[in-house]
Structure 1
Amino acid sequence: MKNVGRIERLLQRHRGGALIFLCALLMLVGSVRFGDAVVQTSSRAGDRELPIYSVDTEKKQVALSFDAAWGNEDTQQILDILAKHNVHVTFFMTGGWVSDYPEDVKKIQAAGHDLGNHSENHKNMSQLSKEECISELTEVHNKVKELTGVEMHLFRPPYGDYDNEVILTAQECGYYPIQWSVDSLDWKNYGMQSILDTVLKHKNLEPGAIILCHNGAEYTAQALDALLAGLKEQGYEVVPISELIYKENYHMDHTGKQISDVS
């Protein structure tokens, strides 16, 4: 079979890695189950494999997510504000961030938030080989599992960069690839009001939206309390991505919206 040589090379390079062995095996069988999570191997729209940008749902729910790759000054403040509003979100963490701030990873998990994979080294995944992509996924996966016992299932490609192989490889490793439909642009450091206006007036703010923030941006923690209040005023319930998405029996439209196949 065409993948056998690739699998042999992968196993020689990463001897002893159970998750990498599983990913290699799944190059042949094409699907994976971790616990109760079933990952389909195709999220195809036309000739493209797409991550989940948003979800088609009648529930007035949105998901708030934080990418954690650099900096940690505001993480505790963010966690305190989320606790004040009794809101759970998703943190996508790089391997470097996990290694630098292990106690904060534990705090995030203990507070009931999703732990998500943001790759080991925050590289453009589409520029890597399949074997390198698997390594980027599994290194941080194993760190988080050893630290918290959590098997992560959500993956956000760094820079939002992906191609068909990146999406399929992530699925083969047991991950739902996740993008976003509402970018807070907090990373541009335009100020607290800019974040609020960008999110709360965004054309894509609708049921099933996935909102992108960063825990290390200059004004994000300052804006968070008012952002959560503004979402609530508009009637939205904020949930973690793991609660928003469909785990199986779905397809994607051309915008990356996840649509359930169950009537």
Structure 2
Amino acid sequence: MKFDYNKIFHNTETFIKDKLKRNGVMAGAMLILLAVGMLFTPKLVSITTSTNASKRELPIYCVETQKPQVALSFDAAWGNEDTQKILDILAKHEVKVTFFMTGGWIEEYPEDVKNIAQAGHDLGNHSENHKQMSQLSKQECIEEIQKPHEKVKELTGIDMFLFRPPNGNRV
């Protein structure tokens, strides 16, 4: 099913403007974040950390904050048909997100990678070939993670520090 994004965006903007008039800036800001999130199906960033007591790595799903915040991210693993439209909407609403990119996508759309970085969004690693990381050897995992990192570094000068395994698969 093909969505009419222009109609959705127009209706969303009209709804948000109406809510801003009625409920103030905070409600409007929350609605903007919610609308962008609903339209582009974001995923939670899963970062792992180790605890000294158990030496077990645990994913971080949320952090303590005094501000009402949400983290939005996009996987860039195939196609770029909507990339510029997404960037335009994010810029219009002054929203920063994380784009998790595969090596193939980086190679196929280097100008998009540069545009994403220049717009101030975080760049994240989504592996070289979107393989099941748990099925790979240690060396293959290293290569799957290192190759996209090197490509982005060469294109943008940025060292990616976030990694999202394909399919949520553990490394």
Give the TM-score normalised by structure 1.
0.45
Task: State how 1:158-173 maps to structure 2 within 5 Å.
Answer: 158-162=166-170, 166=171
Which of 95, 107, 110 aligns to 2:118? It is 110
**How big is the alpha-carbon RMSD for the aligned residues of Structure 1 and Structure 2?**
2.2
Q: What is the match of residue 69 of structure 1?
A: 77
Higher helix share: 2
Which of 95, 98, 101 aligns to 1:87? It is 95
1:198-252 deviations in Å (ceiling 9; x for gaps): xxxxxxxxxxxxxxxxxxxxxxxxxxxxxxxxxxxxxxxxxxxxxxxxxxxxxxx
CA contact (8 A) 2:48 2:60 kept: no
Unaligned 5+ segments in structure 1 are 1-38, 167-263
C-alpha displacement of 1:41: 6.4
From the superposition, tell whether residues 40 and 62 of structure 1 become closer, same or farther in structure 2 (CA, over 3 Å): closer
C-alpha displacement of 1:45: 9.0
From the superposition, tell whether residues 122 and 45 of structure 1 become closer, same or farther in structure 2 (CA, over 3 Å): farther
Unaligned 5+ segments in structure 2 are 1-46
Q: Does the alignment pair 1:153 with 2:157?
A: no
CA contact (8 A) 1:126 1:161 kept: yes
What is the number of equivalent residue pairs in this alignment? 125
C-alpha displacement of 1:76: 0.3
C-alpha displacement of 1:55: 1.7
CA contact (8 A) 2:78 2:105 kept: yes
Q: Does the alignment pair 1:119 with 2:134?
A: no
Cα distance in 2 between the residues matched to 1:46 and 1:70: 38
From the superposition, tell whether residues 157 and 145 of structure 1 become closer, same or farther in structure 2 (CA, over 3 Å): same
User: Looking at both structures, which has the greater relative contact order when contacts are Cα pairs under 8 Å and sequence separation is at least 6?
Assistant: 1
C-alpha displacement of 1:40: 8.9
Q: What is the match of residue 59 of structure 2?
A: 51
Cα distance in 2 between the residues matched to 1:117 and 1:42: 20
Q: What is the match of residue 140 of structure 1?
A: 148
Q: What is the match of residue 128 of structure 1?
A: 136
From the superposition, tell whether residues 45 and 54 of structure 1 become closer, same or farther in structure 2 (CA, over 3 Å): farther
Q: Secondary structure at the match of 1:78?
A: helix
From the superposition, tell whether residues 159 and 44 of structure 1 become closer, same or farther in structure 2 (CA, over 3 Å): farther
Cα distance in 1 between the residues matched to 2:103 and 2:154: 12
CA contact (8 A) 2:48 2:58 kept: no
Cα distance in 1 between the residues matched to 2:53 and 2:125: 24
1:20-63 deviations in Å (ceiling 9; x for gaps): xxxxxxxxxxxxxxxxxxx9962589685223222232321111
- Structure 1 counterpart of 2:153, which letter? K
CA contact (8 A) 1:116 1:153 kept: yes
Higher strand share: 1
1:59-114 deviations in Å (ceiling 9; x for gaps): 21111100110111000000000000011110000000000000000000000000
Query: Percent identity over the alignment?
Result: 74
C-alpha displacement of 1:140: 0.4
- Structure 1 counterpart of 2:159, which letter? E
Structure 1 runs of 4+ with >3 Å offset? 43-48
- Structure 2 counterpart of 1:96, which letter? G
